[in-house]
C-alpha cells in the first residue's frame, strides 16, 4: 500500500473534524464592526487578506484565510481552509467559498443579490464524445464518456510522509487597477482521491476504498474581480495552475502517469448558487449586473442541453488560454490552447456532490449576507434569524461552473489570465425557484447522482483539431 493510501484515514479524520467543527449555525447576534475582532479588518476597507485561526478543545488548530474587496457598493470575498494541525501532523483540503454581494436594477425594481460558489472538485475525463457521436468537444460529458471526480488533499505525519508536507499559501488581495482586484490560494505537495463516475457501483466503491490515488505538486486558484463603472457591471473570473501528476496508483499498483490516454482532459468545477431578494432595496440610484466574462462563444448558434430530462446550458465559450509544461524537464509541451468555460443549470440532486461543504457554507453565507446588508439588518435580528427564516425573502438559481483543459495528459496546466476584450451576449434569464431555506442546498439521494449532466448538441460540430501528444 502506498503512503498516500495509508494517509487516507488521516485525511478523512481531518475532513470529519472540519465538517463537525464548521457545522455550527451562524451567530445569533452581529453588530457592524464585529468582523474586526475576527479578522483585524473592517468591511468598510477597500481590500484585505487575513488569517483566522481556531484551536479546538483537544489542542488541534484549524486555520482559514479570508480575502475581501469592497468597491462601488459591491463586495467580493473568499474564505478558504488552510490546514488542520495537531501533534506535528498536518492535513489540508482545498475548501473555498467565493461570494459576491451587489444590488441590481433601479428604482422600484432594485433588488439585492448574493452569489456563493464552492470549489466542488476537479473532473478528469476521457474525451470520447463530441455531443452527438464519437469524437471530442473539449468538455466533460458524464453519462457518455468516462469521468472521474478528483478530490485533492494534503497530509503528513511525524511517522509517515513527513518529507511531503502540504503547504498552503494565500495569494493576498491586491489592487491591479481602478476597479480591478485579485486574490486566491495556492496549495502545494498534494495527493488526490479519484472517484469513478462510470456507474453508481463504481462511484461507491472508489469513494469508499483507496482504488485510485494521484500525486501532484500544486493547485492554485486565482479570482479576479473587475468593476465597470460605465456599464455598471461586475465580472468575476477564475484562473488555475494545476501541477503535473507525478505518481498514480490504480488498485494499489503504481503506474506511469504518462500512460493516460492522449485525449484525457481535466476540468475545475464550482457549484454556484445565486440568491436574489424579493424585497426592494435603497442606496445607489442604479445597481450592477453580473458579467460572466466568458469570451467568444464556441459556436454562437449552438444550443446545448444537459441531462434527462434536458436542462439548458446557460453559456459556453472560451476562458483564456493555457500552457502545458513538463515539470520534470521544464520543457513546454503545448502553448496557447483554448480553455473551455461552461455554465450549466444544476438539479437539486446534484447538491449531494458538495453536501459535505453545505452546512459550513450556509452558515458563512448567512453571516456575510447579514453583515454586508443594511436591509437585512433591518429585517432580521441576526445571522441565525436570517439563516432560519430567510426563505420568503429570496429566490434562487443553482448552477455548475466549469473551466476545462482538453488533452491535459497529466502535465502541468498554467492558465493564462489574459482576456480578448470580448463580452459575451448575456445568457437567457434563469427561472428562479423558491428556496426551501436561505442558502440551504437541497440534498436528495438518487441512483443517478453521478450523472451531473451529459452534453447533447443540437447539430453536429466537428471536434477541434488537437496537436499530437508530445513525447
> What pLDDT digit, counting tens, does each position of 343-379 carry?
877 777 677 888 888 888 999 999 999 999 999 999 9
The pLDDT of residue 393 is above 80:
yes
- H or E segment to which residue 399 belongs: strand 394-405
Give the model's confidence band at 258: pLDDT under 50 very low, under 70 low, under 90 confident, else very high: confident
Question: Is residue 441 predicted with pLDDT exceeding 70?
Answer: no
Confidence class for position 461, pLDDT limits 50, 70, 90: very low
Q: Is the pLDDT of residue 78 over 90?
A: yes
pLDDT at 438: 23
Instruction: Produce one character per residue of 180-199: b if its CB has 16 or more CB atoms within 10 Å, e if not.
Output: bbbbbbbbbbbbbbbbbbee
Whether 73 has a pLDDT exceeding 60, the answer reads yes
Do the domain assignments include residue 156?
A: yes
More confident residue, 291 or 270: 270
| Chain mean pLDDT for the chain | 78
Q: Is residue 439 scored above 80 in pLDDT?
A: no
Position 470 in a domain: no
* CA dihedral angle for residue 181, residue 223, residue 286, residue 371, rounded to 10 degrees: -90
- pLDDT > 70 in the chain, percent: 74
* pLDDT at residue 387 is higher than 60: yes
Maximum separation of any 2 CA atoms in the chain, in Å: 64
pLDDT band at 335 (very low <50, low <70, confident <90, very high): very high
How would residue 160 be classed by pLDDT, with cut points 50, 70 and 90?
Answer: low
CA distances for 293 relative to 133, 268, 302, 358, angstroms: 30, 17, 18, 27
Confidence of residue 289 (pLDDT cuts 50, 70, 90): low
Mean pLDDT of 83-106: 90
Residue owning grid cell 501533534 = 87
Among 9-13, 78-82, 241-245, whose mean pLDDT is lowest?
Answer: 9-13
Selected residue with higher pLDDT from 197 and 106 = 197
Q: How far apart are CA 211 and CA 202, in angstroms?
A: 10
Q: How far is CA 353 from CA 86, 163, 227, 291, 314, in A?
A: 28, 32, 32, 26, 21
- Answer yes or no: is 12 within a domain: yes
Q: How many domains does the chain have?
A: 1
**Res. 261 pLDDT band, cuts 50 70 90:** confident
**Domain with 272 in it:** 3-457
Average pLDDT value for residue range 61-74:
94
Is 285 a domain residue? yes
Q: Evaluate whether residue 29 is within a structural domain.
A: yes
The pLDDT of 153-160, averaged and rounded, is 75
pLDDT tens figures, 167-189: 999 999 999 999 999 999 999 99
In the structure, what pLDDT confidence band is assigned to residue 396 with cuts at 50, 70 and 90? Answer: confident
Residues 6+ apart with CB under 8 A from 181: 47, 69, 71, 76, 173, 174, 175, 224, 225, 226
Confidence band, pLDDT 50/70/90 cuts, at residue 229: confident
Q: Enter the pTM of the model.
A: 0.81
Q: What is the CA radius of gyration of the chain?
A: 22
Contacts for 250-256 with beta carbons within 8 Å, 24 or more apart? 250/211, 250/212, 251/211, 251/212, 252/1, 252/2, 252/5, 252/210, 254/2
Sign of CA dihedral 320, 179, 183, 383: negative
Position 463 in a domain = no
- What one-character DSSP code corresponds to residue 432? P
What is the per-residue pLDDT across 120-130, written as a single tens digit (0 to 9) for each? 999 999 999 87
Backbone angles phi, psi at 416, to 5 degrees: -90, 115
- Asked if residue 376 belongs to a domain, the reply is yes
Rounded mean pLDDT, 63-92: 93
* pLDDT (0 to 100) of residue 266: 96
Which band of pLDDT confidence, cut at 50, 70 and 90, is reported for residue 158? low
Alpha carbon distance 19, 22 (integer Å): 5
Among the listed ranges 6-15, 98-107, 108-117, 206-215, which one has the minimum average pLDDT value? Answer: 6-15
pLDDT-derived band of residue 464, with 50, 70 and 90 as boundaries? very low
Q: Looking at the domain assignment, is residue 471 inside a domain? A: no
Amino acid at each position: 500500500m502506498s503512503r498516500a493510501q495509508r494517509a487516507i484515514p488521516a485525511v478523512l479524520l481531518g475532513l470529519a473534524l472540519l465538517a463537525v467543527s464548521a457545522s455550527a449555525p451562524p451567530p445569533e447576534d452581529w453588530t457592524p464592526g464585529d468582523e474586526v475582532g475576527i479578522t483585524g479588518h473592517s468591511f468598510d476597507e477597500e481590500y484585505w487578506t487575513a488569517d483566522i485561526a481556531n484551536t479546538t478543545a483537544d489542542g488541534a488548530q484549524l486555520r482559514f484565510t479570508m480575502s475581501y474587496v469592497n468597491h462601488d457598493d459591491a463586495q467580493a470575498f473568499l474564505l478558504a481552509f488552510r490546514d488542520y494541525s495537531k501533534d506535528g501532523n498536518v492535513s489540508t483540503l482545498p475548501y473555498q467559498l467565493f461570494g459576491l454581494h451587489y444590488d441590481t436594477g433601479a428604482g422600484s425594481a432594485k433588488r439585492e443579490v448574493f452569489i456563493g460558489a464552492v470549489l466542488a472538485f476537479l473532473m478528469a475525463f476521457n474525451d470520447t464524445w463530441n455531443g452527438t457521436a464519437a469524437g471530442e468537444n473539449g468538455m466533460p460529458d458524464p453519462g457518455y464518456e468516462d469521468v472521474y471526480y478528483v478530490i485533492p488533499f494534503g497530509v503528513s505525519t511525524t511517522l509517515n510522509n513527513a518529507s511531503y508536507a502540504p503547504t498552503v499559501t494565500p495569494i493576498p488581495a491586491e489592487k491591479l487597477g481602478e476597479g480591478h482586484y485579485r486574490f486566491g490560494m495556492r496549495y502545494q505537495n498534494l495527493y488526490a482521491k479519484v472517484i469513478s463516475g462510470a456507474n453508481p457501483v463504481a462511484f461507491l466503491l472508489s469513494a469508499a476504498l483507496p482504488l485510485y490515488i494521484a500525486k501532484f505538486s500544486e493547485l492554485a486558484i486565482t479570482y479576479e474581480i473587475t468593476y465597470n463603472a460605465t456599464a455598471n457591471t461586475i465580472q468575476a473570473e477564475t484562473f488555475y495552475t494545476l501541477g503535473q501528476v507525478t505518481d498514480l496508483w490504480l488498485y494499489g499498483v503504481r503506474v506511469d502517469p504518462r500512460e493516460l490516454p492522449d485525449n484525457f482532459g481535466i476540468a475545475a468545477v464550482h457549484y454556484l448558487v445565486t440568491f436574489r431578494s424579493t424585497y426592494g432595496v435603497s442606496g445607489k440610484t442604479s445597481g450592477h449586473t453580473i458579467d460572466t466574462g466568458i469570451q467568444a462563444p464556441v459556436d454562437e448558434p449552438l444550443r446545448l442541453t444537459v441531462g434527462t430530462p434536458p436542462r439548458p446550458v446557460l453559456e459556453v465559450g472560451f476562458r483564456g488560454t493555457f500552457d502545458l509544461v513538463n515539470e520534470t524537464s521544464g520543457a513546454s509541451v503545448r502553448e496557447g490552447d483554448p480553455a473551455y468555460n461552461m455554465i450549466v443549470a444544476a438539479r437539486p440532486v446534484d447538491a449531494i456532490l458538495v453536501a459535505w461543504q453545505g452546512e459550513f457554507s450556509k452558515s458563512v453565507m448567512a453571516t456575510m449576507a447579514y453583515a454586508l446588508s443594511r436591509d437585512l439588518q433591518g429585517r432580521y435580528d441576526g445571522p441565525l434569524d436570517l439563516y432560519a427564516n430567510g426563505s420568503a425573502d429570496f429566490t434562487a438559481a443553482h448552477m455548475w461552473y466549469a473551466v476545462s483543459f482538453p488533452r491535459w495528459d497529466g502535465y502541468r496546466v498554467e492558465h493564462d489570465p489574459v482576456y480578448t476584450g470580448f463580452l459575451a451576449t448575456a445568457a437567457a434569464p434563469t427561472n428562479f425557484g423558491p428556496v426551501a431555506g436561505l442558502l440551504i442546498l437541497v440534498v436528495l439521494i438518487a441512483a443517478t447522482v453521478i450523472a451531473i449532466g451529459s452534453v447533447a448538441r443540437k447539430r453536429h460540430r466537428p471536434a477541434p483539431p488537437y496537436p499530437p501528444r508530445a513525447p
